[in-house]
Structure 1
Amino acid sequence: MTLRTVRGLVPALLAAAVLTGCSSEPDTGDGAKAGKSAAPAVKAAAKGGTVGGAGSGCELPVTFDLAKDWKPKAVEIDPDSEFAELAKQGPVTMACEIDAKPAGRIGFLRVWQAKGSDASARKALEGFVGADNQPSKITYQQVTVGGLAVTEATYTTYSALLEEDMRAHAFAVATPKGPVVVGLDGMDEVEIGDMLPAYELAKKSVRVG
């Protein structure tokens, strides 16, 4: 079973159990500029803690704020395990899973890392998006958060369960230990919309170290 297949089944498994800063014009991945449109307002999420440092649940090359009641857990998989492939997407490997269920939502923020890689954040993000489930309508944008360059991708993936495209959001930053990608995964469009404030909180507060 491939990672794309498993990620396509995530909604079924789950069902069973304002950024501040300067930004550049978005582009569609091939160098063409995307048309500007007014982004929908996203309400602010209440902060519930920080992840990335020692004792935070996941020790990472970055730190960022968590929405209230979201719970982080480190992901450690033996590289020789038959499940090792499931923790990879393109050039990055899952390092942390932040569960929204304690906050009443069905989904996760997942942190991925290309350990030791000298690839740029943009290249890592492009590889991550390209390995998702039938990605389309891809737009990249670079923003600045507290002096840190952050590359973001917004796109759609295809849900075989729902038989429709779903929105997807991910951002990436470069660190001395390799690029880090943070992606939002939800059961459906409603859950993704409800969890977007938590994603925005992570994006606007991300720091290296």
Structure 2
Amino acid sequence: MRHPIRTLAQVTAGLAAGLLLAGCADIEPLPEVTQGARPTAAPATETPGAAAAALTVGGPGTVCALPVSFGVAEKWTPKAVEDPENPEFAALTRQGPATVRCEVDAEPAGHVGFLRVWTAGKGPARAALEGFVKAERNASEVSYKESGSGAGPVTEVTYTVFNKVMEESKEERAFAVSTPKGTVIVHLGGIDTAEHRAMIPAYELARTTLKAL
């Protein structure tokens, strides 16, 4: 994996990203992950509803300093990315015009994946999101749509990424919103499509509770 935190290397990159998080402690052995119920990878007929919020991230006193705030699902654990501007970690912390600032780990909730928050410069959300997706290797089936949020108009994207290691494609999605402090992109990946779909309620919670600060 040669760009920020994606695909199979999503598990190993997730561990590598741990080096960037506050503390930067020695690497611990990979804990066992007890996965929750996973849907099949058959085409979804509709988007799952939002999960219930257990806490808020992005506001004053929260672990991630962001231009927006949103609700975090139960057991999901947010952590700020340490020193994201460091060029030594650019392969992990930058994607197109965006820099990762916060990652919300799904492992405590029984899933393999992250909800990651990226920031880009001021400008249209659509342009920043298009640059973000174009920087994703092996992306295809890209589809954009416009919606709204408590932070203003939102551009959403769904796409697939081909994993050369596993020799299969998987779904990913993200939304972007422009704020006076710059564009914010919230991305949901996952180790595979089944895991991705199981985590969509947490993504929908972030999107529907989004507020500009």
Quick one: which of 154, 164, 169 aligns to 1:165?
A: 169
Match of 1:52 in 2: 58
Match of 1:31 in 2: none
Structure 1 residues 194 and 78, CA gap change in structure 2 (3 angstroms): closer
CA distance in 2, matches of 1:178, 1:10: 29
Is 2:113 aligned against 1:107? yes
Alignment of 1:51-70 (within 5 A): 51-70=57-76
**% identity of equivalent residues:** 47
Name the amino acid aligned to 1:7: R
Quick one: which of 69, 72, 80 aligns to 2:78?
A: 72
CA contact (8 A) 1:77 1:87 kept: no
Name the amino acid aligned to 1:94: V
CA distance in 1, matches of 2:48, 2:86: 42
Structure 1 residues 136 and 78, CA gap change in structure 2 (3 angstroms): closer
CA contact (8 A) 1:141 1:151 kept: yes
Is 2:2 aligned against 1:2? yes
Which stretches of structure 1, 4 residues or longer, exceed 6 Å deviation after superposition?
A: none
Quick one: which of 40, 44, 47 aligns to 2:46?
A: 40
CA distance in 2, matches of 1:186, 1:41: 16
CA distance in 2, matches of 1:150, 1:127: 16
The Cα shift of 1:190 comes to: 1.5
CA distance in 2, matches of 1:94, 1:173: 15
Is 2:201 aligned against 1:197? yes
CA distance in 2, matches of 1:78, 1:152: 24
CA distance in 1, matches of 2:165, 2:177: 32
Match of 1:150 in 2: 154
User: Structure 2: any 5+ residue segments left out of the alignment?
Assistant: 16-28, 31-43
Structure 1 residues 147 and 62, CA gap change in structure 2 (3 angstroms): closer
CA contact (8 A) 1:8 1:133 kept: no
The Cα shift of 1:9 comes to: 4.1
Structure 1 residues 119 and 141, CA gap change in structure 2 (3 angstroms): same
Q: C-alpha deviations, 1:126-161, integer Å up to 9, x for none? A: 011111121111111010124710100011111122
Match of 1:21 in 2: none
CA distance in 1, matches of 2:200, 2:73: 10
CA distance in 2, matches of 1:81, 1:145: 33
The Cα shift of 1:41 comes to: 4.3
CA distance in 2, matches of 1:75, 1:187: 20
CA distance in 1, matches of 2:98, 2:166: 27
User: Structure 1: any 5+ residue segments left out of the alignment?
Assistant: 18-37
CA contact (8 A) 1:7 1:133 kept: no
CA distance in 2, matches of 1:171, 1:78: 20
CA distance in 2, matches of 1:188, 1:8: 8
Secondary structure in 2 matching 1:3: coil
Secondary structure in 1 matching 2:179: coil
Name the amino acid aligned to 1:151: T
Structure 1 residues 39 and 206, CA gap change in structure 2 (3 angstroms): farther
